């Protein structure tokens, strides 16, 4: 079952400056930063709150590290802003994806890939989700 908004992904040109904006403007200070080579990003997860299932919600800031990465491509076309929404599942993310695929939505990966903080992730095609790139997340 999808139980929460795990994170909102926001594309940015300068990760450090954008983290500073979220820290100074909103007071979000709990930041986890990592590089995801496969996805072509350096990213920061800013924790917002704990949720009832013991997980949390995050703002995810994404800076491309390669010109051919999805985020670089998206930034070149749209500029900075909301890139995707991610729903968290309390079960197996592949089972969740299979159930959604059975409803006619394209799942972008054959098998889950590594996401932030050791999570297992997959994506749904934005053209099948009313224009929203949608990620499914299973916490480790
Ligand atoms: C592209 N489109 C989007 C979009 N990206 N629409 C809404 N939101 C987005 N983020 C639209 C384009 O405007 C275009 O529409 C159509 O989809 C095809 O886009 P494209 O520019 O030709 O790009 P493609 O087809 O090469 O790739 C799009 C696709 C790709 C969604 C398949 O971006 C992808 O594989 N994304 C999943 C991986 C990803 O985004 N990784 C970065 C976050 P028109 O109407 O112009 O044809 S990594 C992450 O988030 C990890 C670290 C984590 O959470 O742990």
pLDDT in tens, 47-68: 987 666 567 899 999 999 999 9
Domain annotation for the chain: domains and CATH numbers: 2-138 (3.10.180.10)
Q: What is the pLDDT of residue 49?
A: 77
Instruction: Round the average pLDDT of the chain to a whole number and report it.
Output: 95
Measured distance CA(60)–CA(34) in Å, rounded: 11
Ligand 1 center–CA 30 separation, angstroms: 27
State whether the beta carbon of 120 lies less than 6 angstroms from ligand 1.
no
Our measurement of the distance from residue 74's CA atom to the centroid of its chain's CA atoms, rounded to an integer in Å, reads 14
Q: Whose CA is nearest to atom 24 of ligand 1?
A: 70
Under the banding of pLDDT at 50, 70 and 90, the label for residue 31 is confident
Q: What is the pLDDT of residue 55?
A: 73
Percent above pLDDT 90 for the chain: 89
Range with the largest mean pLDDT of 7-16, 26-35, 54-63: 7-16
State whether the beta carbon of 36 lies less than 6 angstroms from ligand 1.
yes
SS3 for the chain is CEEEEEEEEEECCCHHHHHHHHHHHHCCCCEEEEEECCCCEEEEEEEEEECCCCCEEEEEEEEECCCCCHHHHHHHHHCCEEEEEEEEECCCHHHHHHHHHCCCCCECCCCCEECHHHCEEEEECHHHCCCCCEEEEECC
Catalytic (active-site) positions = 7, 43, 60, 84, 135
Q: What is the pLDDT of residue 7?
A: 96
């Amino acid at each position: 079952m999808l139980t929460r908004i795990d994170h909102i992904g926001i594309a940015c040109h300068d990760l450090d400056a954008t983290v500073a904006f979220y820290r100074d403007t909103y007071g979000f200070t709990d930041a986890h930063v990592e590089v995801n080579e496969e996805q072509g990003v350096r990213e920061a997860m800013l924790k917002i709150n704990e949720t009832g299932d013991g997980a949390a919600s995050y703002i995810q800031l994404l800076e491309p590290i390669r010109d051919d990465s999805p985020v670089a491509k998206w930034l070149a076309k749209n500029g900075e802003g909301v890139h995707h929404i991610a729903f968290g599942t309390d079960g197996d993310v592949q089972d969740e994806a299979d159930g959604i695929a059975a409803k006619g939505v394209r799942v972008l990966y054959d098998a889950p890939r590594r996401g932030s903080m050791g999570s297992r992730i997959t994506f749904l095609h934005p053209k099948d989700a009313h224009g929203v790139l949608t990620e499914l997340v299973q916490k480790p």
